[in-house]
């Protein structure tokens, strides 16, 4: 289970270093770039964390990639009713939150320069906290429920690959 504490690490991959547009467009998400010192609309945790409003994901160059993927996965994992009125707080229960974290790790494999290991390192550096002490230990030893939740909502297949579908 995830407990999130806003981190201050400078040693994470940032949105200014990667291109996420095509990846997230597969889910109907549009990335909106925000200027360097402008506030990020729809950011639940505050700058520099990514923000969500409707089908738009707001990021700055200094937004951590893990944050952008996390918020994108909220969009993917929420039901269509919540997606229709989405503004800042994605909501959801613990099972969905765990599914979001699991899916963000899987999507990291589709971001050049990111990958699973970098996602784990960045999540840990930023302050994501799991029962087993690290995001990789959680993913590898304690995330069967998250995996099953994603399978049951047809968001991943049995090979742990994204289906590129939104939760219905």
82-125 tens-digit pLDDT: 999 999 999 999 999 999 999 999 999 999 999 999 999 999 99
| Per-residue confidence (pLDDT) for residue 136, from 0 to 100 | 97
Confidence class for position 44, pLDDT limits 50, 70, 90: very high
| Per-residue confidence (pLDDT) for residue 8, from 0 to 100 | 56
| Per-residue confidence (pLDDT) for residue 94, from 0 to 100 | 95
The Cα–Cα gap between 43 and 33 comes to 13
Which of the two residues, 87 and 127, has the higher pLDDT score?
87
* Global confidence as pTM: 0.93
165 in a structural domain: no
Q: State percent of the chain over pLDDT 70.
A: 95
125 in a structural domain: yes
64 in a structural domain: yes
The Cα–Cα gap between 85 and 104 comes to 22
55 in a structural domain: yes
164 in a structural domain: no
| Per-residue confidence (pLDDT) for residue 3, from 0 to 100 | 40
């Amino acid at each position: 289970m995830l407990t999130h504490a806003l981190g201050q690490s400078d040693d994470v991959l940032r949105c200014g270093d990667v291109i996420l547009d095509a990846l997230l467009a597969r889910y109907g998400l549009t990335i909106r770039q925000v200027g360097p010192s402008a506030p990020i609309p729809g950011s639940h945790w505050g700058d520099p964390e990514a923000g969500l409003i409707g089908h738009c994901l707001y990021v700055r160059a200094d937004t951590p990639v893990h944050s952008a993927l996390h918020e994108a996965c909220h969009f993917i994992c929420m039901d269509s009713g919540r997606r229709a009125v989405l503004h800042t707080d994605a909501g959801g229960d613990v099972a969905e939150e765990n599914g979001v974290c699991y899916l963000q790790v899987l999507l990291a494999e589709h971001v050049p320069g990111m990958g699973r290991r970098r996602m784990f390192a960045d999540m840990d550096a930023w302050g994501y906290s799991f029962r087993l002490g690290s995001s990789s230990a959680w993913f590898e030893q304690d995330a069967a429920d998250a995996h099953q939740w994603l399978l049951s909502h047809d968001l991943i297949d049995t090979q742990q690959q994204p289906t590129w579908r939104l939760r219905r």
